[in-house]
Structure 1
């Protein structure tokens, strides 16, 4: 074999492969250490936080609700990224080179978009379930979707849709030097990739925002109606006790419809006040007479007073009881999770749309890609800050995990 053929073979194998999987550049030599530190923090915080979320659901009976199953599904999607994909990205940033080969690069790209797609689909299901709880709990479709079998179908469909959507892109998953990770090729996958990004990030997240807007409007209208037709304090206390006994932290009442009717009558309230005044007057008269005189009965209502007609108002569980703090907190938490997801991905998506010619500096592309990492570790922090049941479950699990260490520390000190 002549020297020219050997040289040509060597150039066709090694050099293109090294160039293909390298993201080294003088502009990112220093920035890569920031990426390594951030990626390591995301790996640690995301892995521990999402594992705690799954364990909290498994060990705490009060958290094992149908709604929290969707939260756990979101935790599994984030756990897939934090435990498997994020350490690989950290290694790529540390060496500024992909060291896994072409096959693992394709697998990485597929799992990356599978995790993101499952997260978006689950966020859609969470927003939809919250809306059904508020507006259409009694409908047949809502009961079917919110049943145990319906929730199981939602979970399975979220993963099947992700696989079916991004599985066909297997041949075009390549290493992207601009972000030092594996993704689909920007031009080879079109127009299919453009349609997918529109469906998931524009239409999907838009539907999530629409559901939360409808929830806000529904709750606001019902709250105004409740303030206009406020029941008596005694009735409110009874409903509060019943709601606390039968409502889990997701705001879904057990064995009761979410949409309730409040029967309120101003005439009944006035009649009760007149009756109480009659009793007080009778007691005052008896106190000035002999001890053997009996207390007079309060005057009865006149027969001419017409029986009041109750006013029926369809309200949410928040408006019907006046104690909707749990429902609002959980809905606010879910909306915050959604907004954090949008905030993490918006800079990266906008940059890719605006910079189709790749003229922006590489460090800008890498920084916007790094922001997407935060989405996989921030959810458990939001649960701990905005959900009292998850917060307490996290504390209990961490206390049990750290108990052996504290015991060793106490024994050594003694």
Structure 2
């Protein structure tokens, strides 16, 4: 399979401009993909378990979307990153046509899922802070499930035109040994997917956080005026927790934007005749990092999430200690029973 793939690539190169990645760049990319795969799987899996087992966080609508975001990152780390590592190690795609078509579906689909989950989180924060009267109606259990289903279905529907060959197609670009969205009849949906799946959601998120910021500033001014008139009213603990959670989610979006924007710009602006291959590799590594960093941001930036992690680790530690003590007690019983058995035999 590998030799056949290499032969096809060689014949293709004769009539096509060759994109040459330095071996240093491909080794760095492979190393980062493997590292992010291991760290991302552990981090996202621990986050999912910790949030599911934490009753205090489980009641928040935001938690449902955070879990959805973690699941998307977990799929990316489990499937996309190992395939990407092998691609850079071999400097070729060696897994066949079926996986070559699945790879970009999962990659672009997961990016869209991540962005749409952040849109849902941002709108949730906006409604909670600015439109509290509608919150219970908009974020009932049924409503949350409907939003989650819509996010996942819509994100992957964006990939249906190239997957079915209606608009562009999915396949191998031999000059970059990448499985991606290719042009068909000189047409490609990449810019449309970039617009609908990335730019528009980001605009909505930025607009919503701007409104949230305005509401928070307005509320702070009211609180300050109350204090000046002698009213000692202070924000409740729930209000403080909501404010911290909102800041955390804004930080998550900012990090996602920093990680993914370079790759999206490279794929749109430097797509046909790739002039800066090393820049594509570095942009890809930055994008992979977005699936890894969220658990660290949760742990570093929010007390409630730290408590959830702490409870999980305490539970695991106590389970291991109980298992060890039980094993030791069983060994002691066996040791004590041996003389009795020999005495009985004599």
Tell me the CA shift for residue 17 of structure 1: 6.0
1:79 to 67, 74, 83: 74
Pair 93,384 (structure 1): closer, same or farther in 2 beyond 3 Å: same
Query: How many Å separate the matches in 1 of 2:35 and 2:141?
Result: 36
Tell me the CA shift for residue 15 of structure 1: 2.9
Contact 1:348 1:369 in 2 (8 A): yes
Map of 1:145 onto structure 2: 138
Query: How many Å separate the matches in 1 of 2:174 and 2:200?
Result: 29
1:50 aligns with 2:47: no
1:200 to 175, 197, 202: 197
* TM-score with structure 1 setting the length: 0.69
1:231-246 superposed matches below 5 A? 236=233, 243-244=236-237
Contact 1:180 1:366 in 2 (8 A): no
Count of aligned positions: 314
Tell me the CA shift for residue 194 of structure 1: 2.0
Secondary structure (helix, strand or coil) at the match of 2:180 reads strand
Map of 1:220 onto structure 2: 217
1:135 to 130, 133, 151: 130
1:308-387 superposed matches below 5 A? 324-387=239-302
Unaligned stretches of 5+ residues in structure 1 = 1-11, 248-323
Map of 1:30 onto structure 2: 24
1:249-268 superposed matches below 5 A? none
Tell me the CA shift for residue 230 of structure 1: 2.5
Query: How many Å separate the matches in 1 of 2:25 and 2:310?
Result: 36
1:164 to 140, 157, 165: 157
Largest Rg, 1 or 2: 1
Pair 40,121 (structure 1): closer, same or farther in 2 beyond 3 Å: same
* TM-score with structure 2 setting the length: 0.81
Map of 1:16 onto structure 2: 8
Contact 1:20 1:175 in 2 (8 A): no
1:388 to 303, 306, 310: 303
Query: How many Å separate the matches in 1 of 2:305 and 2:271?
Result: 43
Contact 2:36 2:292 in 1 (8 A): yes
Query: How many Å separate the matches in 2 of 1:404 and 1:148?
Result: 33
Tell me the CA shift for residue 359 of structure 1: 4.2
Query: How many Å separate the matches in 1 of 2:292 and 2:186?
Result: 29
Pair 329,37 (structure 1): closer, same or farther in 2 beyond 3 Å: same
RMSD: 3.0
Map of 2:187 onto structure 1: 190
